[in-house]
Chains A and B, each alone.
Chain A
Amino acid sequence: MGMTLTEKIMASHSGESQVSPGEIINMKLDIVMANELSAVLTFDILENWGVDRIFDPEKVCLIPDHFTPNKDIRSAAISKTVREFAHRHKIKHYYEQGRAGIEHAVIAEKGLVFPGETMIGGDSHTCTSGALGAFATGVGSTDIAAALLTGDVWMRVPPTIKLEYNGKPKDYVHGKDLIIYTLSQLGTSFATYKAIEYTGNSFRYFSIADRLTMSNMSIEGGGKNGIFAVDDITVDFLKRTERYKNAPEDIVMIKPDDDAVYEKHLVFDISDLEPQVAFPYSPDNGHPVSDAENIQIDQVVIGTCTNGWYEDMKLAASVLKGRKIHPNVRAIVIPGSVAVQQRCIREGLAEIFIDAGCVFSTSTCGPCIGGHMGVLGPEEVCVSTTNRNFVGRMGAKTSKSYLANPAIAAASAVAGRIAHPYEL
């Protein structure tokens, strides 16, 4: 029987020639990742269990990114614990602030997970790496503790839902719009306990960034993962990673079998789709941007792990070039990684952002999790390219966030209300 992408990877990592939905397997891991917040709890658990060893220091990645540069003394203490653990265990992929960025961007950019490989991360958006043809899923700190010891994880093989997108997108329509639209149609739990496989001819018109955004937000539909088959666009991205230079043969052109069995196959024609905005307080509360009339805003956040890729920065800059941020608005631009930040500087995007009146920040989760670098005050309204707009997510309980793509966010920053670039 044919297998879906997810089934193929699960089979190859559990020593089976075939796996089927519902089976519980022990899956070998190519990378185990944690950020400082999930890691510190993991260490606490390991200490409780009375074990202090790591299955393979080369296959562990620790990145302090949520509250770093440390927002307060408690955060500093946490980062310190993570740093000391990394040094003591000689963790190969430990990245300090200023030398890497947000975990999901760093993992992809450095090529720490390649097509056909597996990773778990102590962060729900670990599913981002599905865009590169890997099986990647988020777990909690106890699962990370177990995986650090054993190098594997128990998984129930999920049924796969195939989502197919066809047609040429209109200008200013991107991966973010496709995923918000999909969530608005299917809800926040359509893929709970399930794998999502994305496909369709629309992806020929998009960059790898659009795929990364969609894989990233697969968890917003409850998905265990959200994966793409490998094609030329994936390979172009992978060729820029450090890993490719040493091991080009690591790129596997993984595809699902022709006779793979899907639980569901849904097809979307996106040729008429407008840019989408997810209204508070859920990413599935999507509306065409034209529905967002006269919504005054206080802040805009562009970037982070959802939309902090170079292509996203370029898109935002194309809207902001020669324009000024509205006097009532603060705009904060946060590249997903230091490499993206450097490229923004090299190619003049940083100057466009700063000339327009934006804060151009180092790479950090910051305001996305209501941590620092732009926390929202009571009743404040924000347009954000991040992935969640739950109550209190980005600050005060009474604040509100609208999720959108970088072009809409940039246009809104200029207009002082939610706007399409055409309205400027």
Chain B
Amino acid sequence: MDIRGKVFKYGDEVNTDVILPGRWCHLYKPEDLKLHCMEDLDSHFAESVKDGDIIVGGNNFGCGSSREVAPLAIKSCGVSAIIAKSFARIFYRNCINIGLPIFESPEAVDGISNGDEVSIDMAKGEITNNSTGGIFKFVPFPEFMRDILSRGGIRDYVLDKLKETSA
């Protein structure tokens, strides 16, 4: 699966409260969530993001609340991937579970600016900044998580496990 899109770049410590503020935490349907995505960080994001676009962040992306509606809101907007220097733990798990590709690459983050066009080659483990020609490596996922991601989320893993235990 290859990913290609225009970059929305933010700084360090993008927390889940600014991605999807508490006041909207009683929403959980994609069509509602996408209207408020990034509301307290970038009020123009929701109206300008297009299918396939990529979010780039700094350190500790997704820190704070465990609300899965935060990565879901991002996914609902059509965002194809998040690249960050590092991710907070619960957010990382949530992204893997819902099948939203995320990539850890401090070099790529430093080599990408807001508005650049970027593509990601999952098989090669490479991020290319098409606007500048820069090529960066990302930290590969452990095999277990690669497996979950390649199946589009944790659903099949869990349902298989259930079958095994009830067989």
Contact = CB atoms under 8 A, between A and B. Distances in A.
A369 B66 contact: no
A251 interface: no
A49 B153 CA distance: 11
Contact of B40 (A139, A145, A154, A391): A391
Contact of B60 (A78, A138, A192, A391): A192
Contacts of B122: none
A150 B162 contact: yes
Contact of B63 (A24, A154, A188): A188
A135 interface: no
B89 A282 contact: no
A390 interface: yes
B97 A391 contact: no
Contact of A154 (B67, B90, B144): B144
Interface string A217-228: 001001010000
Interface stretch (A37-45, A165-173, A315-323): A37-45
A49 B68 contact: no
B113 interface: no
Interface in B1-53: 13, 15, 17-18, 21-23, 25-28, 40-41
* Residue from A123, A142, A145, A375 with most neighbouring chain B CB atoms (10 Å): A142
Interface string A140-184: 111101100110001010000000000000000000000000000
Contacts of A391: 17-18, 40-41
Interface residues of A, number: 49
Contacts of A66: 25
Nearest to B162: A149
A392 interface: yes
Contact of A392 (B21, B60, B89, B144): B21
The size bracket of the interface on B is: 35 or more
Given A140-B97, A192-B89, A369-B22, A282 B65 contact: no
A141 B98 CA distance: 10
B110 to A, nearest CB: 18
A397 interface: yes
B93 interface: yes
A49 B21 CA distance: 27
Contacts of A67: 25-26
Contacts of B144: 24, 154
A262 interface: no
A124 B66 contact: yes
B82 to A, nearest CB: 15
